[in-house]
Structure 1
Amino acid sequence: MALWMEAGSEPKTESEVVDLEAISALKQSTAIELKENGNEYVKKGKKHYSDAIDCYTRAISQKALSDAEQSILYCNRAHVNLLLGNYRRALQDAEEAIKLSPTNVKAFYRAVKASMSLSLLAEAKSYCEKGLELSPENEELNKLAGQIDLLKSEQDRRKAEVSKSVTAVKDMISAFEERKIKIGKALYQELTGVKKPTLDKNNILHWPVLLLYAEVMSSDFIEDFCETDMFSTHLDEMFSESSPPLPWDNEHAYTRDALELYYEADSGVRLSKREIFHCLADGTAAANLEKCDIEENDAAEESSSSTTVLGGGGMRWIKVNERRPLYDVLKEPNLVVPGIPVFYVVSKKSSFYEEFKSGNWAPFGKYTSSSSRG
């Protein structure tokens, strides 16, 4: 009997020929019946989509229909996969349908829909153009062509924004490296939010700077501190004769002539360039970028310092020379900038001053924010 013939062998008897024709007819009949059943399941709605896919799959496996008919089976299965959100499978089915029948316009349409859902706009455009070559007046394909152009325009705009953001972040990282500034994990964000430095067209860094009054754990915020500015300039403005006294300074100790400025030495872990990239990219178009071509650099750090150290304990408070520009202070080898520069303000006239100088004081809890003076 033909059922026992080896695959690929030719029938030798009239009986075998008759058997093969019968088997082929049965497979054709089965495939057509399965196709019709699949179509009925689609009409019944979403609960029956999996049954429809099963019917189309079994019909395809019969391998009993012509290429054009097999193409329709793949195209139908692509349609159901689209309805189910199985876009990758839908695209594979549509592509197989096109291979079997390059004139199957519906297959091109479904390839376009699947490609668009997968954000494969170049592929979607290509399939759409080929479909329109076959059917120039096809209303659905023409509609999709317009949608693709809009999506492509939006995608290009998005890519341009990401590229611009990446360039800005990389420029910022280069500026840190050139100035030998070390960046650590951001602190005090309950006071500063997500403030970040900016780089102007002249390659000058502008920093938001947080001033913490250690004595009472309150703060002031300078929105724009140019790296070439000296601390004395800002403090002169903040504590001028016309400025109101600090609301909590009952002793009137915080006068301009009594102020001293400090930073905390060796208080954080320096972030890698990749970590800095992701911190700076947060909130920009490049925020969700998974990969960035940033090369790490383990260059040796300088160890010279021109600051005065207070305290002999684990906490090291280093006095800032107010006549030095900001960039000169930030490049100190023992200073890790906690996201943005943070400096502590104390008064020589205050009773708190001796406690601070001894190194026995350490920041704790949350700081309360006072009005910004910058």
Structure 2
Amino acid sequence: MALWMETGSEPKTETEIADLEAISALKESTALELKEKGNELVKKGKKHYPEAIHCYSRAINQKALNDHDTSVLFSNRAHVNLLLGNYRLALSDSQDAIKLFPANVKAYYRAAKACLSLNLLAEAKSYCESGVGKDPNNEELKKLAKQIDLKKLEQEQREAQVSKALVEAKEIVSAIEDKRLKLGNAMYRELTGLRKPVLDKNGILHWPVLLLYAEFMSSDFIEDFCETDMFSAHLDIISILFYNLRIKLLIIFSM
């Protein structure tokens, strides 16, 4: 019987050939049944996803289907891995699906989705373009391509903002060093927030300044205190504001 044949040997008798054909047909039937079972499990919801992956894996391991059908199995498993957040596995399965059957458009879509989730934007866009090349009317791929472009734009904007902030920070540090100023530890952040010094285009520093009046248990916060300003100018403004507020309170309470 074919079951007892040595690995790599060719069937010689009609019986051996028939046995091998029967085994091949059985494995193919098993693989297709496992595929359908996996599909049904996916429809049942998230708690059945691991079992669905197991079914697809068993179907793949039968090694009984043609390249097209095996590609579908890899693509289906990629889909479930995407749903579970297993993006690396989803990408690997999608790539295997594409290798087996390059016309598998769903595999390109799932590869692009996985790359997008992994922030591999260039690769994601490449898979989208390849998929659209296979199916120019695929709206899902076109929509995904727009999402990738948007995320790429947002990423570039963030990188530009970070780069600008770093340049500004270096300029401020350089200005502080040039002026031979010594800074202590940040204090009273609960009163000042995250305000930081700013260097204007003329190379002049503007500081956030907190005035504490221990005797009265109060404070004033000046968000923009130019290094060329005099304290008296700011104190005069504070005095005027305080006086106006006091007048308003007196009017209110005298009514």
TM-score normalized with structure 1 length: 0.58
CA contact (8 A) 2:75 2:110 kept: yes
TM-superposed CA distance for 1:123, in Å, is 1.4
What does residue 30 of structure 1 align with? 30
TM-superposed CA distance for 1:201, in Å, is 1.4
Structure 2: gaps spanning 5 or more residues: 244-255
Aligned to 2:210, the other structure's residue is in SS state strand
| 1:235 equivalent among 232, 235, 241 | 232
Indicate how the Cα distance of structure 1 residues 216 and 133 shifts in structure 2: closer, same or farther if over 3 A, else same: same
Aligned to 1:211, the other structure's residue is in SS state strand
> Residues of 2 paired with 1:193 and 1:89: CA distance?
44
1:220-299 alignment, distance < 5 Å: 220-229=220-229, 233-235=230-232, 238=235, 243=239
TM-superposed CA distance for 1:134, in Å, is 0.9
Q: How many residues align?
A: 242
* Percentage of matched positions with identical amino acids: 64
Indicate how the Cα distance of structure 1 residues 19 and 172 shifts in structure 2: closer, same or farther if over 3 A, else same: farther
Aligned to 1:223, the other structure's residue is in SS state strand
> Residues of 1 paired with 2:3 and 2:180: CA distance?
81
Q: Which amino acid aligns with 2:10?
A: P
What does residue 11 of structure 1 align with? 10
What does residue 122 of structure 1 align with? 122
Indicate how the Cα distance of structure 1 residues 32 and 208 shifts in structure 2: closer, same or farther if over 3 A, else same: same
CA contact (8 A) 1:112 1:123 kept: yes
> Residues of 1 paired with 2:128 and 2:233: CA distance?
67
What does residue 82 of structure 2 align with? 82
Q: Deviations over 1:332-353 (max 9, x none)?
A: xxxxxxxxxxxxxxxxxxxxxx
Indicate how the Cα distance of structure 1 residues 2 and 203 shifts in structure 2: closer, same or farther if over 3 A, else same: farther
Indicate how the Cα distance of structure 1 residues 183 and 37 shifts in structure 2: closer, same or farther if over 3 A, else same: same
Q: Deviations over 1:138-168 (max 9, x none)?
A: 2222222233223322222222222222222
TM-superposed CA distance for 1:16, in Å, is 4.8
Larger RCO of the pair (alpha carbons < 8 Å, separation 6+): 1
> Residues of 2 paired with 1:131 and 1:209: CA distance?
58
> Residues of 1 paired with 2:188 and 2:147: CA distance?
46
> Residues of 1 paired with 2:150 and 2:168: CA distance?
27
Indicate how the Cα distance of structure 1 residues 218 and 164 shifts in structure 2: closer, same or farther if over 3 A, else same: same
> Residues of 2 paired with 1:237 and 1:56: CA distance?
74
> Residues of 2 paired with 1:6 and 1:210: CA distance?
88
1:50-69 alignment, distance < 5 Å: 50-69=50-69
What does residue 252 of structure 1 align with? none
CA contact (8 A) 2:2 2:11 kept: no
CA contact (8 A) 2:31 2:60 kept: yes
Q: Deviations over 1:246-303 (max 9, x none)?
A: 99xxxxxxxxxxxxxxxxxxxxxxxxxxxxxxxxxxxxxxxxxxxxxxxxxxxxxxxx
Aligned to 1:201, the other structure's residue is in SS state coil
Indicate how the Cα distance of structure 1 residues 161 and 22 shifts in structure 2: closer, same or farther if over 3 A, else same: same
Aligned to 2:223, the other structure's residue is in SS state strand
Q: Which amino acid aligns with 1:238?
A: L
TM-superposed CA distance for 1:77, in Å, is 1.0
> Residues of 1 paired with 2:113 and 2:170: CA distance?
37
TM-superposed CA distance for 1:3, in Å, is 4.1
CA contact (8 A) 1:2 1:11 kept: no
Aligned to 2:209, the other structure's residue is in SS state strand
> Residues of 2 paired with 1:6 and 1:235: CA distance?
101
| Alignment RMSD | 2.8
Higher helix share: 2
Q: Deviations over 1:292-344 (max 9, x none)?
A: xxxxxxxxxxxxxxxxxxxxxxxxxxxxxxxxxxxxxxxxxxxxxxxxxxxxx
CA contact (8 A) 1:78 1:93 kept: yes
Q: Which amino acid aligns with 2:235?
A: M
Structure 1: gaps spanning 5 or more residues: 248-374
